[in-house]
């Protein structure tokens, strides 16, 4: 074997160094900085006072802010659950179509995911606003009464989050569904299981990792979201992302903003580890082959 391939060679390290330095300087260091910042005091004029304190972390759990945390978690959980139900159904349906059509169906299911997030959210403003398409449609079919405001509500935020992240759930659920071998379900049938029993006892358990991945992904992206609540929830609506935003750009309390993001990251890391455990269990405790 020549030197180029040797894993002990220093040359691979040389290739990796520029990128790793970049990630170190512009990701690891700034994140560590935020971690440290969370334990400093806010200066009188909005600056940072370099004395240690746990006040910021404690303030996150103050009922006033903790309630925003819980509300964000609730909205994120609801969005993730709806996205999982819809996404699983769609993935199941795609996997049930003739093989040759599946790649194209999957491509079109995922395509919106790769278009601009702001634009996708804006599309819902067009539909939901007071002069929007849905109101016009209701008038057109003869509805005369006053319609409840649909934009700037919690429901609008949930719709927006589900809409934006649904394609990811379809992808994560499709992978295990398409790998299911039909013989297993047939075996269940031969043993007298009804279609529903087969789904509930065989298909569903075998595809739980895909659902878990989708759920965690939607939850994580939703709980820290700042664009969707800002646009579909209106100015007053606050989720954790908006609170963090306000600490940095308007309230000028960076240490508190840093503390909020630290708690946010902790919640997300916990969830991701939980998802890794689910994946591990599903693979029968044995490690997935490398690569």
Partner 1 sequence: MPLAESGPPMADRNTFRLMLLILGVVFAFLYIPISVLVGLSFNEGGLPTAWTGFSTKWYGALLENDDILKAAGNTLIVAVFSTLLSTILGTLLAVGVEIRRRNGKWLETVIFAPMIIPDIVLAIALLSMFSLMGVKMGLHTIIVSHVVFNLAFVCAVVRARLKSFDWSIVEASADLGGSTLNTLRRVVIPVLMPAIIAGALLAFTLSVDEFIIAFFTAGAGRSSITLPMQIFAMIRFGVTPEINALATLVMSVSVVALALSQRLNKGGLPGQ
55 vs 125, which CB is nearer to partner 1?
125
CB 23 within 8 A of CB 17: no
d(CA 130, CA 150): 8
Is the alpha carbon torsion for 151, 155, 160, 161 positive or negative?
positive
Shortest Cβ 111–partner 1 spacing (Å): 7
Shortest Cβ 15–partner 1 spacing (Å): 3
Shortest Cβ 65–partner 1 spacing (Å): 16
Shortest Cβ 270–partner 1 spacing (Å): 14
81 vs 86, which CB is nearer to partner 1?
86
73 vs 123, which CB is nearer to partner 1?
123
Q: Give every CB contact of residue 56 below 8 A, 6+ residues apart in sequence.
A: 38, 39, 40, 42, 255, 256, 258, 259
CA atoms within 13 A on the CB side of 147: 18
182 vs 284, which CB is nearer to partner 1?
182
Residue 60's DSSP bridge partners are none
Shortest Cβ 221–partner 1 spacing (Å): 7
d(CA 283, CA 287): 7
51 vs 63, which CB is nearer to partner 1?
51
Backbone region of residue 179 per phi and psi (left: phi > 0; alpha: psi in -120 to 50; beta: other values):
alpha
């Amino acid at each position: 074997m020549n030197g180029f391939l040797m894993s002990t060679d220093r040359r691979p390290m040389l290739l990796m160094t520029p990128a790793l330095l970049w990630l170190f300087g512009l990701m690891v260091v700034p994140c560590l900085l935020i971690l440290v910042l969370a334990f400093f005091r806010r200066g009188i004029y909005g600056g940072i006072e370099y004395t240690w304190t746990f006040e910021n972390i404690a303030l996150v759990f103050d009922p006033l802010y903790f309630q925003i945390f819980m509300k964000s978690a609730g909205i994120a959980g609801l969005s993730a659950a709806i996205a999982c139900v819809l996404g699983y159904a769609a993935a199941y349906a795609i996997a049930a179509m003739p093989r040759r059509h599946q790649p194209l169906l999957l491509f079109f299911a995922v395509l919106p995911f790769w278009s601009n997030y702001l634009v996708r959210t804006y599309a819902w403003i067009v539909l939901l606003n007071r002069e929007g398409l849905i109101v016009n449609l209701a008038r057109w079919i003869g509805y005369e009464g006053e319609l409840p405001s649909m934009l700037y509500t919690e429901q609008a935020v949930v719709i927006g989050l589900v809409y934006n992240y649904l394609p990811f759930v379809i992808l994560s659920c499709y992978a295990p569904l398409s790998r299911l071998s039909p013989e297993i379900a047939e075996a269940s049938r031969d043993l007298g299981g009804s279609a529903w029993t087969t789904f509930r006892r065989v298909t569903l358990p075998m595809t739980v990792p895909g659902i878990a991945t989708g759920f965690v992904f939607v939850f994580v992206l939703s709980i820290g979201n700042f664009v969707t609540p800002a646009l579909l929830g209106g100015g007053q609506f606050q989720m954790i992302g908006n609170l963090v935003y306000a600490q940095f750009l308007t309230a000028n309390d960076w240490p508190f903003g840093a503390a909020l993001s630290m708690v946010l990251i902790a919640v997300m890391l916990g969830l991701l580890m939980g998802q890794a455990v689910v994946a591990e269990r599903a693979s029968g405790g044995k490690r997935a082959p490398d690569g």
